[in-house]
Structure 1
Amino acid sequence: MENKFKIRPSKAENASNTTTERAAPSGGSSVFSGIEKRLKLEYYFEEGFPVQYLPKITFVLVLAILYISNTHYAEKTVRDINAIQAEVEDMRADYTTLKADLMFASKQSEVARKVKDFGLKESLTPPYKIVVEKGEY
């Protein structure tokens, strides 16, 4: 004896078995009943739904869901990497620009020009080295 899920008997069989079972009301046409009619699922499962295949079907569905979620995660990671790379390029350009500005502003002629407003002048005598003899200090 196989383990199978039985489909309800048809309306003709229901009419003959009205004393034992009541037919489920088929009120209105729902989306699922329309799909069932178009796919003709009763034709494929005349003898009942093969329950022994449920674990395998469930396993394949879980694998499919994991595959899809992994693909979405990978695409999201690629988008994040691209956004971060663009941000790094912008920061590298800012760094290069600021470094060049700092190098220009720290030149002796630029410093002398900027401190002229404060009344400071550039010394014309070069600096000299002070030598302290050992034991003098």
Structure 2
Amino acid sequence: MEETGNKKTEPAAGNALRNPLKGLFNYQWMLSNIPFFLFLSLLAVLYIANGHMADKTMRRINATTVELKELQYEYKTLKSEVMFKSEEVQMVKATEPLGLKVVKEMPQRLQQEKKP
């Protein structure tokens, strides 16, 4: 009988040596660590959400930068057009169809007579 007893105990001891983590992942251990697993899950969800928000923010920053550059180009273009059109020669050309001309005479100053 000792041999049959030894045969039964040896395979059990062999299984324990082959799989040392089997005792670690049992039902009781899983139940006692559910709050920790939920905490880890929450951290994973927050990490993923943070990554998405960062990507979204970067896209908005890039779009705003592109829009700002376009507005700067438009501003410079309009400014150069205004500077060009405000030159005296361009003003004379623009007012010729209206019949306005540049006066060559000096303006006269009108003075009010003083009453005694």
What are structure 1's unaligned runs of at least 5 residues? 1-42
Secondary structure, counterpart of 2:33 in structure 1: helix
Give, in angstroms, the shift of residue 103 of structure 1: 1.1
- Residue identity opposite 2:27 in structure 1: G
Secondary structure, counterpart of 1:122 in structure 2: coil
Give, in angstroms, the shift of residue 120 of structure 1: 1.2
Secondary structure, counterpart of 1:95 in structure 2: helix
Partner of 2:7: none
Correspondent of 1:99 among 59, 79, 84: 79
- Residue identity opposite 1:120 in structure 2: L
Secondary structure, counterpart of 1:124 in structure 2: coil
- Residue identity opposite 1:95 in structure 2: Y
Instruction: Classify 1:63/1:129 alpha carbon distance in 2 versus 1 (closer, same or farther; 3 Å).
Output: farther
Large movers: runs of 4+ above 3 Å = 43-47, 126-132
Instruction: Classify 1:63/1:103 alpha carbon distance in 2 versus 1 (closer, same or farther; 3 Å).
Output: same
Whether 2:36 is the aligned partner of 1:60: answer no
> Which of structures 1 and 2 has the larger relative contact order (alpha carbons within 8 angstroms, sep 6+)?
1
- Residue identity opposite 1:48 in structure 2: Y
Q: Distance in 2 between matches of 1:101 and 1:79?
A: 33
Q: Distance in 2 between matches of 1:67 and 1:102?
A: 52
Aligned sequence identity (%): 30
Partner of 2:96: 116
Alignment of 1:1-137 (within 5 A): 47-48=26-27, 50-127=30-107, 136=114
Instruction: Classify 1:87/1:110 alpha carbon distance in 2 versus 1 (closer, same or farther; 3 Å).
Output: same
Instruction: Classify 1:46/1:99 alpha carbon distance in 2 versus 1 (closer, same or farther; 3 Å).
Output: closer
Bigger radius of gyration, 1 or 2? 2
Aligned length: 93
CA deviation map 1:60-108 (0-9, x unaligned): 1101110110111011101110011001000000000001101111112
